Structure 1
Amino acid sequence: VGMTGYVLAINNIGPAYTAAISAFFPAYGAALATVVLKERMRPYQWAGLAACLAAVAVLGWTPVDGVPGSWAMGIAGALVCVLGWGTEAVVIDWGLRNASVDDECAMQIRQTTSALTYALVILPLLGGWPSAVAVLTSSAMPVIALAALSGTASYLFYYKAIAALGASRAMALNITYSAWAIPFSLLLLGSMPDVRGVVCAIVIILGAITAATDVKALFGHGEKAAA
């Protein structure tokens, strides 16, 4: 549901507005986690999350004169994306509290459900199977498969982070992908970042680390270890 809303938003309002709006899914997820999971974040953690999200929005914000489709449909899609991605992390965190489910099993269930939903519902509804078959037989398939493997590894570690840190902190760290894209683009594509990109990347990473770190628990653990 979240990814479908994301693609719908891009198709209607473009990637810039979509990236800026969808970047706020950790804020919604953190608020939901405080209600459903009783997670508590300290004021400095909320401040770190706010700084991180603001930098993500600035990094993805490149205003355009017009939009390719319906503004209302695009905003609705972006909000569906926020609800889907934020709710996913909270539901996974809740499920992982059952001792009989670990993060690998949770991800397998998630990915299988997602694949079946796309194959049996979304692609037939949108008439997308011909395009999917064309991609499978194209020369780009090895690169796409490599990207898919990278995405699978990313999701596996994301779910491990949810299990270890909780939904709120894991989402804050997960959103740093927008910052890490900058050095990878430089190394792999030779794209030189501008000053805005470098500053936003630093703010995103530092803000996410602040949001994910419980200073009291961290120093308390260190004191126990020293003792």
Structure 2
Amino acid sequence: MWQGIFSGFLWASDTVLMNTVFMNDINLAILPLIMAGIHDLISVFVITLIMAVSKNIHHVIRDIQSKGAKFIGMAALLGGPIGLSAYILAIYFLGPFLVCVITSLYPAIGSVLANLFLGERRKVYQWIALGVSIGAVILLGITYDSAIQNIWLGLVAAIMCAVAWGSEAVICSWTLGKYDLQDTSALWIRQSSSTVVSAMIVGGLILGGLSIGTVGDLILDKVNWLVVAATCGALSYMFYYKSISNIGASRAMAVNSSYSGFAILINMLFWGVVPSYQEIILGILIVGGGIVSAYDYKK
């Protein structure tokens, strides 16, 4: 359980720092895939260093050759190039607080997908809780009046991210249960696959006319913040995958969604941004509904 809580705190830190990276910078906001790729590349180095120090690097060499590695790679496409890119884009449009709250729906979405594809049955109260979460998201989009770039584009990106992350967790949970993979090895495969795919797409954009100088300027101008954010993200993922391995996807997602609450605290400490009572109430409904819909208390 504690791994999931640490994961939530670190991911909230990552989110606030990523917002710092491109605050009021439209150039970075329109290139979220580049940001996601750089973020995951840095996290690969961090994870590799940790595994080398802990002398677990040999597990990666073994596990990367297993049949389960291709399924982790599939999850990487959802979590990285799709999910993380949408997340970064949503941060630009909405800011870190709203993004954390809305994407905390992903445990509920993961439960729906687990029901459909893994046969995990959900109870009536869990479906009701899912409906409450979705309704609160809609109300948040209708009533939110703070200074944001675009509420509806941000909502689309955030919901896309939640669907991708929920799918990733289900695939990873199934893979870790079916194949003899170390959770740290699975994470290394996940981050490396995501980095490679992002690099291929960015390479295609460069060949299609995207200025290499522009990409280089983005990296150099924001590299310090990116390194700190990606380190928090890497550590968050390590705790998250450990949590999935220890207590299963539904429980891990439920505890990890605490990042939306941590983000409010961290954002207040960093920028002095205090959400309104209405935002707090809707945020509690979204987070609470997501947790209840994902967590089976009788197990």
> TM-score, normalised to structure 2's length?
0.55
Deviations 1:18-76 (A, max 9, x none): 95876654433221111222223333344444444544555566379xx87xx8x9898
Partner of 1:44: 125
Q: 1:10 to 1:183 in 2, by over 3 A?
A: closer
- 2:120 is paired with a residue of what secondary structure? coil
What is the deviation of 1:169? 3.6
Are the aligned partners of 1:176 and 1:204 in contact in 2 as well (CA < 8 Å)? Answer: no
Matches within 5 A, 1:174-193: 174-193=256-275
Equivalent of residue 181 in structure 2, options 79, 84, 101:
101
Distance 1:90 1:197 in 2: 30
Residue 32 (structure 1) aligned with residue 113 (structure 2)? yes
1:167-213 Cα shifts (integer Å, max 9, x gaps): 33433443342332111111222222221233234444544553454
CA RMSD for the aligned pairs?
A: 3.7
Q: Which amino acid aligns with 2:220?
A: T
Output aligned runs, 1:10-159, within 5 Å. Answer: 14-15=93-94, 19=99, 24-55=105-136, 58-59=139-140, 62=144, 81-125=161-205, 127=210, 129-138=212-221, 140-159=222-241
Q: Does 1:160 align with 2:242?
A: yes
Q: Alpha-carbon deviation of 1:112? A: 0.2
Shift of 1:90: 1.2
Q: CA deviation at 1:101?
A: 0.6
Question: In structure 2, how many angstroms separate the alpha carbons of the residues matched to 1:146 and 1:189?
Answer: 17
Distance 1:76 1:215 in 2: 31
Contact 1:123-1:129 at 8 Å conserved across structures: no
Structure 1 length-normalised TM: 0.69
Q: Secondary structure at the match of 2:245?
A: helix
Instruction: Name the CA distance, whole Å, in 1 between partners of 2:287 and 2:162.
Output: 20
Tell me the distance in 1 between the aligned counterparts of 2:174 and 2:112.
15
CA displacement, residues 148-181 of structure 1 (integer Å, 9 cap, x when unaligned) = 1111112222222322333334334433423321
| Structure 1 runs not aligned, ≥5 long | 218-227
Task: Summarize the Cα distance change of 1:48–1:130 in structure 2 as closer, same or farther, 3 Å threshold.
Answer: farther
Please say which of residues 152-161 and 48-57 is displaced more in the overlay: 48-57
Matched length: 208
Distance 2:154 2:269 in 1: 33
- Structure 1 pair 204/83, CA: closer, same or farther in 2 (3 Å)? closer
**How far, CA to CA, are the matches of 2:292 and 2:228 in structure 1?**
32
Contact 1:9-1:75 within 8 A present in 2 as well? yes
Q: What do residues 106-125 of structure 1 show as CA deviations (whole Å, max 9, x unaligned)?
A: 11111000111111223532
> Is contact 1:49-1:208 (8 Å) kept?
yes
C-alpha deviation, 1:89, in angstroms: 1.2
Q: Which has the higher contact order (CA 8 A, sep 6+)?
A: 2
Q: SS at the partner of 2:119?
A: coil
Aligned 8 A contact 1:27 1:49 in 2: yes
| Cα pair 2:114 2:170 within 8 Å, conserved | yes
Mark the CA change 1:170 to 1:53 in structure 2 (over 3 Å): closer, same or farther: farther
Query: 2:104–2:287: 8 Å Cα contact kept in structure 1?
Result: no
- With over 3 angstroms needed to count, the CA separation of the structure-2 counterparts of 1:200 and 1:102, relative to structure 1, is farther
Which sits farther off after the overlay, 103-112 or 158-167?
Answer: 158-167
* Equivalent position of 2:253 in the other structure: 171
- In structure 2, the CA distance between the partners of 1:10 and 1:210, relative to structure 1 (3 Å rule), is closer
Using the alignment, how far apart are the partners of 2:157 and 2:133 within structure 1? 22
